[in-house]
Amino acid sequence: MLATDTNEEALAIARSRPWPSDRVRLLRRDPYAPSAEAPAFDAGLAALWLSHVDRARMARFLAALHPHLVPGARVFMFDERDAPERPLPASRLDAADNRYEMRRLASGERFEIVKNFYDESQPRRLVGPYADDVEVQTLTCFWTLAYATRG
Ligand SMILES: C[S@@+](CC[C@H](N)C(=O)[O-])C[C@H]1O[C@@H](n2cnc3c(N)ncnc32)[C@H](O)[C@@H]1O
């Protein structure tokens, strides 16, 4: 398993967990960088990630992800929905229809982050060119997307 993040702090949290070290690699990677490697993975997971992808960069992310996956690989993605009880309001929208939120760290530092929500049809549409057997589920606070990569 290869797990990636751009952020060393997030990787350090993941490294502190009891993974079987001979089978799990945790690496700092740019998720938008094209793959230079042959497809090597039979599954893909994007957990709580798509909401942070700038809409203008989504095609680039998906084009970078899929060459890592062999044909028929199972992919699962999930992220939050705009549930009514969501406490954080949007700080702004931009011209590409990205939604932003302010986030505060324990240190008190404040950051504005991209936090996009999708309607029911959007996850399916996003992966359409890459996907067979697409299943989308709408839960109370989350959406899930499962598919097989096209051969
Ligand atoms: C909401 S967290 C989800 C983390 C993890 N998937 C989980 O479920 O615990 C979003 C992650 O995206 C990472 N991230 C934000 N911008 C990134 C970028 N440009 N490239 C790669 N990772 C990024 C953050 O460091 C953070 O760990």
CATH code, domain carrying 99 = 3.40.50.150
Tally of domains within the chain: 1
Q: How confident is the model at residue 35 (pLDDT cuts 50, 70, 90)?
A: confident
Single pTM value for the model: 0.92
**Does the pLDDT at position 87 exceed 80?**
no
Look at residue 6 and tell me if it is in a domain: no
Q: Is the CB of 52 under 6 A from ligand 1?
A: yes
Share above pLDDT 70 across residues of the chain, in percent, rounded to a whole number: 100
Look at residue 22 and tell me if it is in a domain: no
Look at residue 60 and tell me if it is in a domain: yes
Note the pLDDT of residue 38. Answer: 95
Look at residue 9 and tell me if it is in a domain: no
Exposure class string for 68-105: b at 16+ Cβ within 10 A, else e:
bbeeebebebbbbbeeeeeeeeeeeeeeeebbbbeeee
Residues ≥6 apart with Cβ < 8 Å to 13: none
For range 14-37, the mean pLDDT: 93
Domain residues for the domain of 138 are 31-149
CB of 127 within 8 A of CB of 145? yes
CA–centroid distance, 12 to ligand 1, in Å, is: 13
**Does the pLDDT at position 55 exceed 90?**
yes
Q: How confident is the model at residue 84 (pLDDT cuts 50, 70, 90)?
A: confident
